[in-house]
Amino acid sequence: MLAKLMGLFLLNLVRLLTGAQARWYGCPPKAEQRIYFANHQSHGDIVMIWAALPEELRAITRPIAAKDYWTRTPLKQWITTAVFNAVYVDRERKGDEDPLQPLSDALASGDSLILFPEGTRGNAEEPQPFKAGLYNLALRFPNVVLVPAWIANIQRVMPKGEVVPVPILCSVTFGAPIRLEPGEERRQFLDRARQAVIALRDI
């Protein structure tokens, strides 16, 4: 109940501040298993994509959250667990555990994911080189549709280090799905995925 209210509050807050506009170019919003992958510039990114999705898809789409940061306080943990139903992922590798295991589990159980393949937030105009996670997941789950997305303007709403967001209109542009070609190399695929995200900037 409380989580639902919190979700409603965050949703309306995001709409008030950013308009939370979704632009679907290349694919319609559809209840198939997907990985949305986007540029990452702010903490608001998760909420932005989440708010831009239609309500039916929001329930089956889980964002990825960095475990070290988002479990640091009870409030952060509660928001990511109860409101966003996030999948936690370890940023630093410990022992021989597979860091992608939680994501694989989520995909195996039929959920869609929101992924930021840069791994961390950037400040630059263009996203940093993508990390291998997206490639490995695409390899393991060939039937999951990979949808690139570009989040515009959100870094102006709340730059790194600030706490009060300001109202600036943002949009999320979803592009045409890409797929891992047979025999395609890892670096090549990741660069192509990154280009697919960047290409959405000017549509």
Partner 1 sequence: MNQFLRNLTPSQQVAALFLFVFGILAIASISAFLASFRQRDHDEAWQAELKDLRQLLRTSWFMAILFWIAWIMGPAVATTLFALTSFFALREFITLSPTRRGDHRSLVLAFFVVLPIQFWLVATRRFDLFTVFIPVYVFFALPLASALAGDTQRFLERNAKLQWGVVVCIYGASHVPALMLLDFRNYEGKGAFLVFFLVFVVQACMLVQHLLTRRLRRPASIPQISASFNWYTWALGMVLGSFVGGLLSFITPFKAGQAVAMAFVACAAGSMGHLVMKALKRDRGVTAWGARGMSVTGANGLLDRVDALCFAAPIFFHSARWYFGV
Contact set with partner 1 (CB under 8 A) = 18-19, 21, 23, 152-153, 156, 159, 162, 164, 166-171, 173, 201-203
CB of 149 to partner 1, least distance (A): 13
Q: Can you tell me which residue has the tokens 């949703």?
A: 11
CA distance 27 to 198: 17
Nearer to partner 1, 87 or 196 (CB): 196
What is the rounded CA–CA span in Å between residue 176 and residue 17? 27
From the CB of 40, what's the least distance to partner 1, in Å?
17
Comparing CB distances to partner 1, the nearer of 65 and 152 is 152
Closest CB to partner 1 among residues 105, 125: 125
* Residue of 49, 78, 129, 141 lying closest to 104 (CA atoms): 141
Closer Cβ to partner 1, 21 or 33, answer by number? 21
**Minimum separation from the CB atom of position 147 to partner 1 (A):** 18
What count of residues does the chain have? 203
Q: Rounded to the nearest whole angstrom, what is the least distance from the CB of residue 192 to partner 1 in the complex?
A: 22
Crossing angle of the two packed helices 2-18 and 44-52, in degrees rounded to 10: 90
Q: Which is nearer to partner 1, 16 or 108 (CB)?
A: 16
Closest distance of CB 72 from partner 1, Å: 24
Sheet containing strand 61-66, strands side by side = 21-24, 171-174, 145-152, 34-38, 112-115, 61-66, 87-89
Q: Give CA–CA dist 156/158, Å, rounded.
A: 6
134: which 2 tokens? 């997206």
* Identity of the residue, 22 or 145, whose beta carbon is nearer to partner 1 in the bound complex: 22
CB 190 within 8 A of CB 183: no
Closest distance to partner 1 from the beta carbon of 124 (Å): 13
